[in-house]
Amino acid sequence: MLEINLCGKKLKSPLILASGTLGENKENLIECLKYNAGAVATRTLRVNSACRELFRPAYYFGDNFMLNADNQNITPWTYWLENNKDVERYGPLIISLSARNPDDCKTIVSAFEKKCPPSFYELNFSCPHSAKIYGEIPYKDVEKSLGLIKKETKRAVFLKLSLNNVNIKQLKKLESKKLVDAFVLSNSIGPGLKIDVEKKKPVLGSTVGGMSGPAIKPLVLAKIYELRQQIKKPIIGVGGIANAKDVLEYIILGCEAVQIYTTVHLRGPKVFEEINQDLKNFLIEKKESLSSIRGSLII
């Protein structure tokens, strides 16, 4: 009932674990797939993460949002060359790449294609707090990264955006050049700042951080509504999903699938099983299917 076809690949559920620190090791990803996540994403990979700072504290949890610092990867990208097959035994794996260094994309994808290709690749167009610390990524680097990836693989490539870097004209250009197979919106937004009034200091070691969680969902839905009218490729919605009704909002808007991170970070991988069951119950009660409600928004 919940099976979907995403860019030619069958997923047992429209729920995908988004890229984040949970994607530092295969055990976390396999656990999510065992709880019936449709697919899972690694942490964004870079050839050399040594130049990136390690911030502590790295997370702050508010009533309806999370702030996170843009920390370096703990595991090297080569870890996944040895372990992605173990993940793919349980379900589709998405290798997340950074658009900050296009040559890194070529190096990483080429290595995977030669040894053990994943189901999908996802190019991360940087979240705004990363842009604040390390500088914004220009669209020319995104286009170059996508072009290098596409030369190395025939597998579907997603482009993960933030609300801050959605440029409809540029995205239509990438689409027309057949450089992207699906868009993912939205990465964390911001940057956001929270202050500990007792210590008179920011709660994050990075001062500002990326904001995710339920508080951003209305903003993301509005931007996807705008984007859906302009582009033809599938959209994967992400932002503030905590329950089945949140998922349904994205599907009704026209999204092919959704990504979830903050809720999984807070409550663990069992949320995939819980949300899947609630989705089934809703569809049975309403005598609907994912296909029948997808894009059914009434204006």
Q: Which sequence positions are flagged as catalytic?
A: 127
**Residue ranges in the chain assigned as alpha helix (H):** 26-34, 79-88, 102-115, 128-134, 139-152, 168-176, 217-228, 244-253, 262-267, 270-286, 290-293
Distance CA 290, CA 253 (A): 12
Encoded tokens for 40:
């899972």
Distance CA 61, CA 110 (A): 38
Question: Strand 39-41 relative to strand 15-17: parallel, antiparallel, unpaired?
Answer: parallel
CB contact set of 77 (below 8 Å; sequence gap of 6+): 45, 46, 47, 108
What is the SS3 assignment for 70?
coil
Neighbours of 261 (CB within 10 A): 25
